Amino acid sequence: MGHSTCSHTKLTLNFLQSSSWIAGFFLFLITFLVSFTTNIEASSVRPPANAITNALPEKSTSQAKQKTPGGFVPGKTLGNRSQTDLWRVMRRNIKGTVSIPDKKAGVLIQSAGDSWMKFRNNDLYKYSSWTILGMIGTLLLYYLLRGTIRIERGMSNVTIQRFSKFERTGHWLNAGAFIILAITGLNMLYGRYLLKPLLGDELFATIAGTGKYLHDFVAFAFVIGIVWIFIAWVRDNLFSKDDIGWIAKAGGLLSKGSHPPSRKFNFGEKIVFWITILGGVAISITGLALLLPFQIQLLPGELGIHNMQFAQTWHTIIGIIMIVVVLAHIYLGTIGMEGSFQNMKTGQADRNWALEQHSLWLEEVEKSEEKQGTTDARQPAE
């Protein structure tokens, strides 16, 4: 029938071309009527009897009664589906369909948000407070009991190069970025309770907003710093059997005059290094997942909101661990030990300090310097 309509249209066009518009009009009328009747015939919404459809074959009523589908509500009720079953699965992240572009919005109710909130607001808040305060308390107590660890032989005023400019630049890039990230990060967890009552809503929100942007962008400096110090120091931070002696004497931290020998880095410094590197990598990946929402898959399965919650949770946990470790690192690098800060400030270590803290390294350096010295001595003669 569609075929005949088509040929009529062609004829109509021919008549239009010969400008015989009256005949054309009649032909148009005929075409219109033909197509109209065609439409009436085709206008039934039912498929033709021989059409292939995906409709289920109709069951006889006796069959339907024998096999009641799951959730059938017996008795004279108007519904035939169990409401409870439907609403129960709602709480299990079932995904429906939505006609808006964001298909993730098909999740009606995500109960994982409750767990995330409870962890962040209760457990994380509580335990990270205790951990940070515990570390500060321990360091304070240690300082009161032990005081600054002095160089027993006193300053020799002879210095040895411990860190090159390359090493120091990497360290301070990483350290500077870390301090900014740590402060702005802690503000996200504690600012609302500690700073907001002091500063007021507006000022605090401005500071927190600036802090968030700082956190987002300084993060890249931190990532560069992590790669930098890894390249600079990974060889000196591989664990060796010299570390056993250091562990046995607890690094000499607990007794005066105890100085277990170590190379360029002692066991404690190696631990700080590896926590910084491994933690740094983990915090960078989770941080990137937070920066680029729904772009980086951390968990198997569908890339949904649980990925973001997972990233946020571990980003914070790792951050707190790193802050606690770095607090101890800063303590020993500054007021905790005489002569340690100048290592990273100028790159020069006092010889007596090196003799007590890194005796094996001092030996190595002096041996190679002796060799260097002989060559140096020859140089001016030329």
Partner 1 sequence: MARMKFLCDAERCIECNACVTACKNENEVPWGINRRRVVTINDGKPGERSISVACMHCSDAPCMAVCPVDCFYQTDDGVVLHSKDLCIGCGYCFYACPFGAPQFPQASNFGSRGKMDKCTFCAGGPEDDNSAAEFQKYGRNRLAEGKLPLCAEMCATKALLAGDGDKVADTYRERVVSRGFGSGAWGWGRAYPGQSGGR
Cβ atoms 310, 299 nearer than 8 A: yes
Interface with partner 1, residue 333, by CB under 8 A: no
Paired strand residues for 107: 95
Taking only Cα atoms into account, the Rg of the chain, rounded to an integer number of angstroms, comes to 38
Tokens of 341: 């800060």
Complex with partner 1: residue 201 or 382, whichever CB lies closer: 201
Complex with partner 1: residue 192 or 371, whichever CB lies closer: 192
Paired strand residues for 145: none
In angstroms, the first-to-last Cα distance of the chain is 109
Complex with partner 1: residue 32 or 217, whichever CB lies closer: 217
**Sign of dihedral through CA atoms 98, 101, 106, 110?**
negative
Interface with partner 1, residue 139, by CB under 8 A: no
Interface with partner 1, residue 111, by CB under 8 A: yes
Complex with partner 1: residue 188 or 296, whichever CB lies closer: 188
Interface with partner 1, residue 308, by CB under 8 A: yes
Binding segment toward partner 1, per CB under 8 A, in 44-52, 263-271, 304-312, 325-333? 304-312
Interface with partner 1, residue 214, by CB under 8 A: no
Q: Which of 124, 177, 181, 189 binds partner 1 (CB under 8 A)?
A: 189
Min dist CB 204 to partner 1, Å, is: 7
Cβ atoms 38, 1 nearer than 8 A: yes
Q: Which of 27, 167, 177, 191 binds partner 1 (CB under 8 A)?
A: 191
Cβ atoms 286, 219 nearer than 8 A: no
Interface with partner 1, residue 109, by CB under 8 A: yes
Q: Any idea what DSSP says for residue 1?
A: -
Q: Which of 163, 177, 178, 204 binds partner 1 (CB under 8 A)?
A: 204
Interaction residues for partner 1, span 23-52 (CB under 8 A): none
Q: Which of 266, 312, 340, 352 binds partner 1 (CB under 8 A)?
A: 312
Contacts of 109 (CB under 8 A, 6+ apart): 90, 91, 93
Cα 333 to Cα 36, 232, 258, 316, 330: the distances in Å are: 92, 19, 18, 25, 5
The H-or-E segment that residue 110 falls in is none
Cα 304 to Cα 301, 307, 310, 314: the distances in Å are: 9, 6, 10, 16
Binding segment toward partner 1, per CB under 8 A, in 90-98, 231-239, 329-337, 367-375? 90-98
Q: Which residues bind partner 1 (CB under 8 A)?
A: 69, 71, 73, 77-79, 81-84, 86-87, 90-91, 94, 96-102, 104-111, 113-114, 116-117, 120-121, 187-189, 191-192, 196, 201-202, 204-205, 208-209, 212-213, 216-217, 290-291, 293, 305, 308-309, 312
